[in-house]
């Protein structure tokens, strides 16, 4: 019987191992088994159920069981590779052409909608960033103006304190000087 591990299924379906593990746990017991190494594997019935859940066919007759290890791809490269595989499968099997084409069309439509939604979301975020940048510029100018006003206030306070000190010195000097009295002021003593 043809079985696949969670990691193999995750790679086939293009999802994370954790996401696939959650789906495999939801399968019934007759759709999954434990291999000789103690790993959970999914049999053909379980794989077909997963295909139904994900809306993707991965068990076509032409599928290569042993795939060579390839370096990590970007999501766009992976999507292109998977689409070319799916297209190749549709040309090889006449009975499944319409079904696979419909599934691919639905998948592509869903992906296009998701791309449009994400593009709109990015545009909205760009507008918000631009608006916040403008607000930051205004706040920077306000802070610079406040700093200028604070410097002026400190300079005025320093000048007022210097004037006060000068006046106090003059008052003390005036108090120490004898008062000049005129002719009549001297006689009163």
| Whether 60 contacts 89, CB under 8 Å | yes
The topology under which CATH files domain 1-59 is Multidrug-efflux Transporter Regulator; Chain: A; Domain 2 (1.10.1660)
| pLDDT, tens digit, 9 for 90 and up, residues 106-141 | 888 888 888 998 999 999 999 999 999 999 999 999
- In this structure, the number of other CB atoms found within 10 A of the CB of residue 100 comes to 19
With beta carbons less than 8 A apart as the criterion, state whether 6 and 17 touch.
Answer: yes
- Report residue 81's pLDDT band, with 50, 70 and 90 as the boundaries: low
Mean pLDDT value across residues 27-33: 88
Q: Name the range with the highest mean pLDDT among 4-8, 53-57, 93-97.
A: 4-8
All residues at 6 or more sequence positions from 99 whose CB lies less than 8 Å from its CB, including other chains = 57
Higher pLDDT, 81 or 66: 81
d(CA 3, CA 33): 9
Handedness of CA 35, 58, 109, 54 (dihedral sign): negative
Q: Cα(6)–Cα(24) distance, rounded to whole angstroms? A: 7
Q: What is the DSSP letter of 178?
A: P
Distance CA 189, CA 120 (A): 99
* Residue from 72, 47, 71, 46 nearest 60 by CA: 47
CB-CB contact of 51 with 14 (8 Å):
no
Summary mean pLDDT of the chain: 80
For residues 133 and 10, what is the distance between their CA atoms, to the nearest angstrom? 42
In this predicted structure, the answer to whether residue 78 has a pLDDT above a threshold of 90 is no
- 87, 91, 84, 66: which is closest to 11 by C-alpha? 66
d(CA 128, CA 111): 25
Residue 73's pLDDT is what? Answer: 58
Q: Residues 34-76: pLDDT tens digits?
A: 888 888 898 888 888 888 888 878 776 434 344 444 455 566 6
pLDDT (0 to 100) of residue 167: 94
Task: Please name every residue paired with 33 in a beta bridge, in sequence order, or none if there are none.
Answer: 41
- Of the pLDDT bands very low, low, confident and very high (cuts 50, 70, 90), residue 85 is low
**Measured CA angle at 27 (ends 4, 33), to 5 deg:** 45
**What band does 189 get if pLDDT is binned at 50, 70 and 90?**
very low
């Amino acid at each position: 019987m043809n079985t696949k591990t969670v990691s193999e299924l995750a790679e086939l379906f293009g999802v994370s191992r954790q996401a696939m593990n959650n789906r495999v746990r939801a399968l019934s017991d007759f759709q999954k088994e434990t291999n000789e190494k103690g790993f959970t594997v999914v049999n053909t019935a379980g794989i077909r159920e997963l295909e139904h859940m994900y809306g993707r066919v991965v068990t076509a007759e032409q599928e290569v069981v042993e795939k060579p290890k390839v370096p990590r791809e970007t999501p766009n490269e992976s999507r292109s590779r998977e689409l070319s595989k799916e297209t190749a499968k549709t040309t090889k099997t006449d009975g499944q052409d319409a079904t696979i084409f419909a599934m691919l069309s639905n998948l592509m439509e869903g992906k296009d909608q998701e791309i449009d939604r994400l593009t709109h979301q990015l545009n909205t975020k760009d507008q918000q960033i631009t608006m916040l940048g403008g607000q930051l510029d205004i706040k920077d100018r306000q802070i610079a103006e406040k700093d200028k006003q604070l410097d002026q206030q400190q300079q005025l306070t320093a000048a007022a304190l210097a004037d006060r000190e000068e006046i106090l010195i003059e008052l003390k000097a005036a108090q120490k000087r004898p008062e000049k009295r005129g002719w009549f002021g001297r006689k009163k003593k």
